[in-house]
Amino acid sequence: MANLVVLGFDDRASAERVFQLVTDTLPKQQLLQVGDAALVWREQDGKPRIQQAVNTTAAGALGGAFWGTLIGLLFLNPLLGAAVGAGAGAIGGKLTDIGINDSMIKEMGQDLEPGKAAVFALVQQATQDRVIEAIKPYNPHVIQTSLSHDDQEALAKALQA
């Protein structure tokens, strides 16, 4: 079972480094397996920004272009098929919501103070002590989790110690 962990940061740079750890470095080291991840920050002007680990729009467009080209070959017009397929795939990808609920990420972005950031991770598997050791230098604080109260308190204490 996957657990949602949302960590808050005082600045965007620290959150970006942890997002990079969560989506790239730690999974490559087999220390962390995430189903989805997102980075949200609030600009100084108050506007929230979101960066998703998985771009469903691009994936949908790529898949749609492939299938559109294939179908277009059958009707002797592969370019038109690719264009229509890419458009349909992009729309389908945009409407697809996998992993972390997008509306929850947007709400969190609205709640952040300007200049602050948060990293969302849908953690499937983790080597807890090594992951905590890797992200601790960036001074995260636990905003929200789907962990039990005891596990959430233990995580918060480990990140602050």
What is the assigned CATH class of domain 3-54+98-160? alpha beta
Distance CA 87, CA 50 (A): 23
Nearest alpha-carbon partner for 139 in 111, 161, 109: 161
pLDDT tens for residues 3-12?
Answer: 999 999 999 9
Could you state, in order of their start, the residue ranges of all structural domains in the chain?
3-54+98-160, 56-95
The encoded tokens of residue 62 equal: 């790529």
Arithmetic mean of pLDDT, 69-82: 60
| Mean pLDDT score, 33-48 | 91
User: How does pLDDT run across 85-115, given as a tens digit for each residue?
Assistant: 556 555 655 555 456 788 888 898 889 999 9
Q: Is the pLDDT reported for residue 74 higher than 60?
A: no
- CA distance linking residue 2 with residue 125, whole number of Å: 7
Say what the pLDDT of residue 26 is.
94
Segment holding 48, helix H or strand E: strand 48-52
The pLDDT of residue 130 is 95
Sole residue written with tokens 């992200």: 135
pLDDT digits 0-9 by tens, 124-145: 999 999 999 999 999 999 999 9
* Distance from C-alpha of 12 to C-alpha of 40, rounded to nearest angstrom: 9
CA 3 to mean position of chain CA atoms: 13
Positive or negative CA dihedral for 10, 14, 19, 25? negative
